[in-house]
Chain A
Amino acid sequence: MSKMKGHISNIIQPVFAIFVGLAVGTIAILLAGESVFLTYREMWEGAFGSLYFLSNTLERSIPIILAGLGVAFAFRAGFFNLGAEGQLVMGAVTTAIVTVYLPFQGFLNLVISIGAGMLIAGLLSFFAGWMEQKFQINLLISTLLLNYIAVLFAGYLVSEPFRDTTSSGGVAHSVMVEDASKLPKLLTGMNVHYGFVLAIIITILLAFIIKRTTFGYEVRMLGQNMFFAQYGGINRKKVMFISMLISGMLAGLAGSVEVMGMHYRFIEGALTTPQFAWTGLMAALLANSNPVGTAIIAIFLAALDTGALGVERNTDVPNAISDIIQAVLILFISAKFTMAFIKSKRKRGAK
């Protein structure tokens, strides 16, 4: 019974948050002087209105899903990986460089370059975990700060040694990926690429691992109660290292497929401006780190972005409408955690 109740509240919470977000969006639309119905219809049309728009939405959701899954997985084990942005960018830049310098092109090149991106991103995340273990450097802080190092370092790589000098370039970027090694599109003429299939497979895989495997059990136990888990013989160090590694690799994969399937090169700022990693974090938190839920909410958040483009094109409401709704969602998440904090404090006081 209580399990049932838990399930329902897990679904109701994000739905309620989204509802409030849309309600606040309504106020913004009214301020811009547009019809609310018309605007939300344009948003729906812009996100799902035709196969083309649907493909744009799904394409945008790919890095959000993958980065979100990465965060969700670490969070399940009780580790807060705020470094998804840096890991995503390092994965992307590694992939973009490796693919160009491999002596052969084609499918193998694609696999190796994406693998390399995931590896570097995973190691970056692992490094934060190692520092926590070795020097007690708080994960929250180290992962967050490593973002700056990773993003700036990636920017340096494409500004100096690996810069594409053939185009007049106002913005630093790497050399274009060869046609043969590109991640193919799912449908010709559409933007969505095979990264989406990959994202869905990984979602299902993660859900399975967390629910049905011994390692998944260890992860969940550690996340729920560290002392109980350790008392029960779970090796915290091992679980942390593995989950941080996987978390980083998933974030890296998000960047890698975006490079191989969408931009075909690493463009400085192109992966940080859209805030893929932070949107992924938001998806993971709204979904209580449930992999399937994370993927669904990631698609919804991507739809907000692409839908806002439709709103921008066809009404007087600017595309910042999507930012407004997402800002409300962030507030909601923060409020939820603060409430939990206050509640637990009260409980403690009562004792």
Chain B
Amino acid sequence: MRKNLLFLLVLGFLAFVLVACGTESEDESSNGENDEGNAENSESKEEAKSVAVVLTDQIGVNPFFQQIADGAKQAAEETGLEINVIESSDTTETKQNLEVAVAEGYDLILTATFDAVDPLTTVAEANPDRDFAIIDAIVDLPNVKSAEFKEYEASFLLGAAAGLATETDTVGIIPAQDIALLDKYIVGFQEGVAHVNENAEVLVNYVGSFEDPAKAKEIALQQNSNGADFIAAAAAVSDLGVFEAAAEAGFYTSGQDIDRTVEDPEHVVLSQLKNTDVVAYDFVKEYGNGEFSTGVQSFGLAEDGVGLTYVTAESESPLNDFIGQDTIDQVIEIKDQIISGEIEVKNPLEQ
């Protein structure tokens, strides 16, 4: 009996170690890639204006943050600003990093994503004389500049491309979670499909997590067996599972944020783009040039804030025959119509 108990204890520890290390090992994998953050900053702060980029997660986990950091750093370099990129791992840490950035006297404090909304609201309200900016979320305060993206415009194009290309008249989309924010992707996609192909059916199944590739893969395989020949992945890290399923079962898929077609051009045939780097670059550049003004800015197709590979941007990988140049030409036409206002894609969050 006693042996039994001890054995269970050790077993419990293994379980504990597995659970506790699950996320830690992910964190550790991000180590090598971080080469930002300047120790010398504090000494030379008096001369140059300085920018702090406070991120809500560790960069290594997410190319989305890498883009923001890169864009901000490039602009800082060009305009001669000091810059320090600070990573956080949870909401409390984000708040503390924002507070410290204020205390250490950074002139502009830039942050990103909905995770930063609560902390930034508190800190910006407490420091009305300081400048803040947030990307990909809105904080409606007089000293905060916000950037939101019209992802639904790009999703509309993606949907249109999918609707034209599908041979089975069934396409799928796999968003991460059933949250209002992701309607920007789902509704745009559905409208895009309906715009070009009235008969097509759109399958929507949620992963339930931004970081669960295994589950996303199962859902993708299921959608494929239900007839979908094109499945858009819209679930951050979980997208990898959809890509894997596509390679195994031989259907077509698309990625998000950056050009993911380079990973597997045979199956990942499109990628919906979100140019957070352009916005981070713009914000910091404006600040460096003394043209910074607060308020809410929207970035859509017209502002080159969002886009689609082959339609608004070149790609390193060749265009897949499944999509075909014909489809791309038609989608480019739709893009021009959206920009000129002929087609109006509404923000699903405001409908």
A positions within 8 Å CB-CB of B: 28, 31-32, 34, 38, 52, 56, 59-60, 80, 82, 138, 140, 144, 159, 167-172, 191, 262-263, 265, 267, 270, 273-275, 278, 281-282, 305-306, 309, 312-316, 318-320, 323-324, 326-327, 330-331, 333-334, 337-338, 340-341, 344-345, 348
Contact = CB atoms under 8 A, between A and B. Distances in A.
Contacts of B89: 273-274, 319
B15 A82 contact: yes
Nearest to A340: B6
Contacts of B114: 168-171
Given A312-B87, A320-B31, 16 more contacts: A31-B31, A52-B103, A60-B92, A168-B117, A168-B181, A169-B114, A170-B114, A171-B179, A267-B91, A273-B89, A278-B16, A282-B20, A319-B89, A319-B93, A327-B28, A337-B13
Interface stretch (B34-42, B70-78, B317-325): B34-42
A323 B90 contact: no
A282 B16 CA distance: 9
B65 to A, nearest CB: 12
B90 A270 contact: yes
Contact of B138 (A168, A281, A282): A168
A334 B117 contact: no
B11 interface: yes
Contacts of A59: 92
A159 B209 CA distance: 13
A94 B183 CA distance: 29
Nearest to B184: A170
What secondary structure prevails in chain A residues at the interface with B? helix
B166 to A, nearest CB: 30
28 contacts: A80-B9, A144-B12, A159-B178, A167-B117, A168-B117, A170-B115, A171-B179, A262-B92, A267-B91, A270-B92, A273-B23, A274-B93, A275-B23, A278-B20, A305-B93, A309-B93, A309-B100, A313-B37, A319-B88, A319-B89, A320-B27, A320-B58, A327-B21, A331-B17, A334-B10, A341-B6, A344-B3, A344-B6
B262 to A, nearest CB: 26
A324 B138 CA distance: 35
A248 to B, nearest CB: 17
Given A316-B39, A330-B21, A323 B13 contact: no
Contact of B37 (A314, A324, A334, A345): A314
A309 B13 contact: no
A271 to B, nearest CB: 9
Contacts of A348: 3
Interface in B85-99: 86-93, 95-97, 99
Among A168, A330, A338, the one with the most B-chain Cβ atoms within 10 Å of its Cβ is A168
